[in-house]
Chain A
Amino acid sequence: MIRSETWSKQEMEGAAMPILEFKNVSKLYNGSTKALSNVNFTVNQGEFISIIGPSGAGKSTLLRCINRLIDVSEGTVIFDGEDITAVKGKELRKVRIKTGMIFQHYNLVDRLSVVENVLHGTLGRKSTLSGMAGHYTEDEKKLAFEIIESLGLSEQAYKRCDALSGGQKQRVGIARAIMQSPKLILCDEPIASLDPKASKVIMDHLAEINRTKNITCIVNLHQVDVALKYSQRIIGVSGGEIVFDGSPDELTQETIHRIYQSSSSDLITDVSGGQYEQ
């Protein structure tokens, strides 16, 4: 039952397989404000991608078009070989089961315990009734505890989420996403509300999940240095358009300024010494 070392290597070799494809995607709010215009890109299985850009550039909208929390106005989104641009009901649920999501403000149910929040990751696969009642199988519970342990939250398992620190809450968020056994994890500003130490823990966990479980990660970030350090590929978004798509090495100071539409003195980031170990 358990995925073996060789199996995951096989999958690694097939990494060229595209898992997500955006074709000429545009998003209009209220029929006029353009949040995304003519976005095109392809994501391969197992990639770790950062999306950078100023606030309001359309990063969040872009991410939410993937699991269809936001409907696309024009264009096509293909996920896991299926056109999901207009799927509804059960089909949409299937897409969402396959994509985990992590939020800036964690979006946990504060009054429930850590385990319960992690188990929410299974709701998509459950019947309506047993999900309503919060009825989980023993196997699901064991798996939840294993995931909680792998994220170093054993001590907190029975605590209510409002008793946790920000970094711990975000780890619960990650655990909930892993519980879904997703193919793709979407992270919307996962470290924007955290201190540097907790941020590193979170990014390390994401990188490890990406490496060991071969889950594709797409991360919205506004810290360019973090994006450079962790990602295999960076997409720069500005004014709803993709202005850069390439590896971290290709990202120059000039490109960063183009993305953030600012002069060099306005930016704190310095990429000249950006020799980060991967």
Chain B
Amino acid sequence: MSSKQMSVFRKRKITYIAAFAIILALYLFSSLITEFHISEGVRAFPDAVMWMAEKLIPDAKAFERFPKILEKLFETTLLSVAVTVIAAVCAFFFSLLGSKTTRLNGIINRLVRMIASFFRNVPDVVWAMLLMFSFGQNILTGFFALFFTTFGLLTRAFIETIDEVSSSSIEALNASGADFMQIVFQAIIPSSVTGLITWVLYMIETNIRSSTLIGILTATGIGYLFDMYYKRLEFGSASLVVLSIVVLVILIEMLSNMLRKVIQ
């Protein structure tokens, strides 16, 4: 083995050891700051699992409440779809302004990306609390809280999809004298539609999970139902809520996987 090869192996070894050391240091520092001790975690974990196996089982009372849970679950699904669809329509037109391929003004381009980044990064809990003041315990609180974050996320995702997919056909239609809106509808939408829909389906899935969180904060929807049973220590009913969310999310995941295959 030549000395050069040796040094490559040595370098790799040093990199691995350094990476490991940095990760270990990060962990130790973090556990110090957060007062998390692994021994505590390890000890708590089996207890928690035992507790879950014992208490987190739907009881007779839970099944009496099942129709109500289903109703809220249905409402949550509708909410997630509606938020995602409306946000997607807004995000699409917004992302046209932010895409490089449409060759609009560079300043507008940067501005749009900044606005999208802002909406994406303001936590949805902030929106939820802010809207609680004005909309109160209303489904619209959840709607708008989810809307802003979804809008920000989808704008970035759409910009990337459009940039990736359609630059060549945009050039061709530009060369044949088509105007901006014609190019949008005849080139950009047809070539990016599958990518856009994949993102929409993914966001619907995510929003069902997020709306649980928002629901806990704003006392609406399925999140509120869970929180209520949880605080009353009616774990049987709470577990049924969790189970139905799991079933719903998995169903939607399966459905969107199937759709993704069909629309390719």
Contacts and interface: CB of A to CB of B under 8 A. Distances in A.
Interface of A: 67, 69, 93-97, 99-101, 103, 105-112, 120-121, 123-126, 128, 131-134, 173, 176-177, 180, 186
21 contacts: A67-B175, A93-B179, A97-B177, A109-B166, A109-B169, A109-B187, A112-B186, A120-B176, A120-B187, A123-B177, A123-B179, A123-B182, A124-B177, A124-B178, A125-B177, A128-B182, A131-B179, A131-B182, A132-B182, A134-B185, A173-B172
Given A120-B186, A123-B186, A107 B172 contact: yes
Contacts of B184: 132
B182 A96 contact: no
A265 B178 CA distance: 46
Interface string B227-252: 00000000000000000000000000
Contacts of B176: 96-97, 100-101, 120-121, 123-124, 176-177, 180
A12 B257 CA distance: 60
B172 A96 contact: no
A120 B185 CA distance: 11
Nearest to A63: B175
Contacts of B172: 101, 103, 107-108, 120, 173, 176
B168 A111 contact: no
B178 A69 contact: no
Q: Size band of the B side of the interface?
A: 20 to 34
B173 A120 contact: yes
Given A67-B175, A101-B176, A180-B176, A134 B169 contact: no
Contacts of B168: 103, 105-107
Main secondary structure of the interface of B (DSSP, over half): helix
Contact of A109 (B177, B181, B190): B190
Given A109-B187, A109-B190, A112-B190, A123 B181 contact: no
A96 B175 contact: yes
Contacts of A131: 178-179, 181-182, 185-186
Contact of A111 (B178, B179, B182, B191): B191
B174 interface: yes
B129 interface: no
Given A97-B177, A123-B178, A131-B178, A107 B171 contact: yes
Given A108-B169, A109-B186, A93 B177 contact: yes
B178 A101 contact: no
Interface string B124-142: 0000000000000000000
Contacts of B191: 109-111
Nearest to B192: A111
B193 interface: yes
